[in-house]
Structure 1
Amino acid sequence: MNTETTPLLRNPLKEKLSKGEPVFSMTVRLVRTIDIASIAYTAGFESIYIDMEHSSFPLESAGQICMACNALGVTPLVRVPGLDAPFIAKVMDAGAMGIIVPGVQSADEARAAVRAVKHAPMGIRSFSGAAPQLNYQSLPADKTIRELDQASLVVAMIESRAGLEVVDDIAAVEGVDMLLVGASDLSAELGFAGQVEHPEVHKAFLRVIEACQTHGKAIGIGGLGGRPDLVRQYLELGAGFVSTGNDITFLSGAASQKRKQFV
């Protein structure tokens, strides 16, 4: 075996998507401790993503959870608030295996996300030395960069009318691995807030799926946690990544169900 070309760093999420296998993800907005990594693993989730867009999540906690996930083979992604390259670099340096960028509306924005995640020559990310994703192994700089860049994921969210109109251009950007449809915001933008089964929302999903299939990118679906029937439909149409819901709704739902058992 040629150890020079065999990656030291594996991204189980990326590998499953490349094989056409579905991946189910749990969103983390509430829990700040590494216990959530073990809970996700035991529940059977292949991935989690830490939502730093819609929470007050501190970077230190996000990094600790990412490292715990990596040890368990649960791929950790982080949804960043926006295209702040220095912040994205910090997220990656803390242990994330990729980022999710909300509200991408142009190919230029998608390219900016790729540049923030990748090192030169593809990107502008500064080399930080030994990386938590590699268990802080001391490797030659070029090998560390190669390992991190081949394993990292860049996910662009399509959740606006503007993004939908140029989805083909976004899907064509080199270095973007997946387009993730945000059904909640997208349905609102299209004038049918919360009506994820509306024909116009369905047409939007199909448009994203077609763009991804044309350019060989993975397809993610979000905002459909309460509609497993729609999730199954889009999986059959080619989707691979499913954002199932977040820890707040999981806890609230289970707590409500438990309380109802005691009249």
Structure 2
Amino acid sequence: MSKIGSGSPNPLLSKMAAGELAVGMIVRLVRGVEIVAIAKTAGFDCLFIDQEHNSFSLETISQICIASNLTGMTALVRVADAGHASIARALECGATGIIVPQIETPEAAAEVVRAAKFPPHGTRSIAPCLPALDFRPTPAEEAMAAINERTMVIVMIESTDALARVGDIAAVPGVDMLLVGANDLANALGVPGQIGHPTVRDAFGQVAAACAANGIHLGVGGLGGQPEVAREMIALGARYATAGADVTFFTNAAIAHARKFK
């Protein structure tokens, strides 16, 4: 049975299950809840809070996640590593999904699922009054079931080892999406910066086929400056794409406006 279309209350999963493209904004610069309002005004479907490539504290992540939950936006956190503590603490901040980089084996993907899910699907520890439930006191069994249903598990495909086992990784129960890290994958394939290279395009096709065969979603990242490649990936079945990061948007807009006065 396909995992797509499970009826999850996670709005991002619901949109993708309906066959629509969900678009996320990476957050690497802004540390206040204002970024949630900005992303919502801009029309993004979710925030991709990047703990791997910046110095965000857990307090910052928590504030952005809670604000996202209150506005109905999905808050995804890319953790720094696949460690149980890294995953658990991001979810305790109120994230409704985790993105885990550098997953290369189905065993590693299964460990991610176990860390992200409460029993009976995983080993996550339960605490009272969780931010994902707006701190509402909820019986443990009910809370665990509700949060399990809405928590997305996303693993990144960024290496040749991951590509070699992509079918097995996609088949791991509980994985909702494979997200291709285009830049790191291009580096691994020996064509750094060449996102449109045929070798990279072929790798995207392999990941797309694995996702389709296992009824999970395909996500693409790093294509903000490659609209042609992005369109190809959407045609292959991608239902999630990151459109860029706050720091990139800010810098590009600042440069463009400064040039108007020179």
Q: State the TM bucket, normalised to the shorter chain.
A: over 0.9
Shift in Å at residue 141 of structure 1?
A: 0.8
Give the letter aligned to residue 212 of structure 1. Answer: C
Q: Aligned to 1:240, what secondary structure does the other structure show? A: strand
CA contact (8 A) 1:67 1:132 kept: yes
**Structure 1 runs of 4+ with >3 Å offset:** none
Q: Aligned to 2:112, what secondary structure does the other structure show? A: helix
Q: Please show how residues 152-191 of structure 1 align to structure 2 within 5 Å.
A: 152-191=151-190
2:4 corresponds to which residue? none
1:256 corresponds to which residue? 255
Residues matched between the structures, number: 256
Distance 1:104 1:237 in 2: 22
2:63 corresponds to which residue? 64
Give the letter aligned to residue 71 of structure 1. Answer: L
Q: Deviation per CA, 1:96-116, whole angstroms, max 9, x where unpaired?
A: 001000011000110011011
Q: Aligned to 2:232, what secondary structure does the other structure show? A: helix
Shift in Å at residue 10 of structure 1?
A: 2.8
CA contact (8 A) 1:105 1:163 kept: yes
CA contact (8 A) 2:23 2:243 kept: yes
Distance 1:62 1:91 in 2: 8
What is the alpha-carbon root mean square deviation over aligned residues?
Answer: 1.1
Give the letter aligned to residue 252 of structure 2. Answer: G
CA contact (8 A) 2:24 2:47 kept: yes
Give the letter aligned to residue 66 of structure 1. Answer: C
Give the letter aligned to residue 195 of structure 1. Answer: Q
Distance 2:86 2:213 in 1: 32
2:46 corresponds to which residue? 47
Shift in Å at residue 197 of structure 1?
A: 0.5
Give the letter aligned to residue 246 of structure 2. Answer: D
CA contact (8 A) 1:130 1:144 kept: no
Structure 2: state its 5+ residue gaps.
1-6
Kindly indicate whether residue 187 of structure 2 is the aligned counterpart of residue 206 of structure 1.
no
Give the letter aligned to residue 166 of structure 2. Answer: V
CA contact (8 A) 2:80 2:86 kept: no
Q: Percent identity between the aligned chains?
A: 45
TM-score, structure 2 as length reference: 0.96
Shift in Å at residue 140 of structure 1?
A: 1.2
Distance 1:119 1:134 in 2: 14
2:109 corresponds to which residue? 110
1:4 corresponds to which residue? none
CA contact (8 A) 2:186 2:195 kept: yes
Kindly indicate whether residue 82 of structure 2 is the aligned counterpart of residue 94 of structure 1.
no
Give the letter aligned to residue 117 of structure 2. Answer: K
Distance 2:48 2:32 in 1: 14
Distance 1:10 1:71 in 2: 14
Distance 1:26 1:40 in 2: 7
Greater Cα offset, 120-129 or 155-164: 120-129
Distance 1:38 1:128 in 2: 29
CA contact (8 A) 2:49 2:76 kept: yes
Distance 2:67 2:227 in 1: 29
CA contact (8 A) 1:46 1:73 kept: no
Give the letter aligned to residue 219 of structure 2. Answer: G
Distance 1:87 1:26 in 2: 21
Q: Deviation per CA, 1:38-95, whole angstroms, max 9, x where unpaired?
A: 0000000001111000110101110110111111121100000111112211111110
CA contact (8 A) 1:27 1:49 kept: yes
Structure 1: state its 5+ residue gaps.
1-6
Q: Please show how residues 116-131 of structure 1 align to structure 2 within 5 Å.
A: 116-131=115-130
Q: Deviation per CA, 1:95-140, whole angstroms, max 9, x where unpaired?
A: 0001000011000110011011001121111001221111111121
